[in-house]
Amino acid sequence: MENERISDFFKAQTHLFIKQVKNWGEILIGFEAKNKYKVLDSHGMEHGFIVEKGAGILAFFIRWISRSHRPLDVRVYDSKQNEILKYQRPFYFFFSTAHLYDSQDQVIGRIDQKFAIFKKKYQISDHQDNVVGEIESGFFKFFQFEIQNRMGQKIGEVKKKWGGLLKEVFADHDTFGLSMNEELDTRTKALIFATAISIDFDYFEDNQGGNSPLQIFD
């Protein structure tokens, strides 16, 4: 049986938008956080938020040294501040692997970045290691990541730039969106949502400033 909070968060959603915010004083959380994001629905209404755990001097040096390769502990909350998802990615050199859990630490699935020449490639697996989605984004598709199932059918898409639907939100470059097929179960939607987080941290998140010794792996 699907987690009720996950079901409520994703069941009616086919489009979600994720916008990084710089001032999060209105949200009260039980830990210090580094990066923070609003989750908006297709009408631009606040649907939830995302926070990256970790602040302070030690966390700063880890981020400076590791940059986009750093270990991540990310939490997703609904608009009532109920925890929905836990996204965790260990430190990596070349290809990231992220694990997704519900609020009770039950495994939902995994997102693996794969080796590819002139492509950006991901594999999305459920809690039983069944592949539910794959991405092979072409070299010149810098901001577009189409997600297909094993039969080659499109089930979702992640975009860093968005035309038409809620276009005004994308005046800020720190925003990206995802679309998900309506018939998908909510756990698969959660994995597509987590894939968007992986893509953003792997390819676009670079707000730490300065140079890192690990830049040679980027």
Q: Among the ranges 32-36, 109-113, 115-119, 212-216, which has the highest mean pLDDT value?
A: 109-113
**Domain around 202:** 4-209
List the one residue out of 80, 76, 92 whose CA is nearest residue 189: 76
In a domain, 215, yes or no: no
Taking the CA atoms of 5, 169, 199 and 183 in sequence, report the sign of the dihedral they define. positive
Q: Is the pLDDT of residue 86 over 80?
A: yes
Distance separating alpha carbons of residues 134 and 72, to the nearest angstrom: 22
In a domain, 217, yes or no: no
CATH of the domain at 46: 2.40.160.200
Q: CB-based contacts of 161: which residues, under 8 Å, 6+ apart?
A: 143, 170, 176
Tokens standing for residue 53: 């755990």
Region 59-85: mean pLDDT is 78
List the one residue out of 197, 206, 199 whose CA is nearest residue 88: 197
Tally of domains in the chain: 1
Distance separating alpha carbons of residues 202 and 67, to the nearest angstrom: 10
Contact 46, 38 (CB under 8 A): yes
Distance separating alpha carbons of residues 130 and 188, to the nearest angstrom: 11
In a domain, 198, yes or no: yes
Distance separating alpha carbons of residues 215 and 67, to the nearest angstrom: 8
Residue-wise pLDDT for 141-175, tens only, equals 778 899 999 999 999 999 876 555 555 554 555 67
List the one residue out of 178, 176, 173 whose CA is nearest residue 16: 178
Q: Is the pLDDT of residue 218 over 70?
A: no
Share of the chain above pLDDT 90, in %: 52
In this prediction, residue 81 has a pLDDT band, given cuts at 50, 70 and 90, of: very high
In this prediction, residue 117 has a pLDDT band, given cuts at 50, 70 and 90, of: confident
In a domain, 214, yes or no: no
In this prediction, residue 198 has a pLDDT band, given cuts at 50, 70 and 90, of: very high
What 3-state class would DSSP assign to 170?
A: helix
Instruction: Record the pTM.
Output: 0.82
Distance separating alpha carbons of residues 157 and 141, to the nearest angstrom: 12
pLDDT at 143: 82
Residue type, 91: F
pLDDT at 215: 42
CB-based burial label for 43 (10 Å; 0-12, 13-18, 19+): exposed
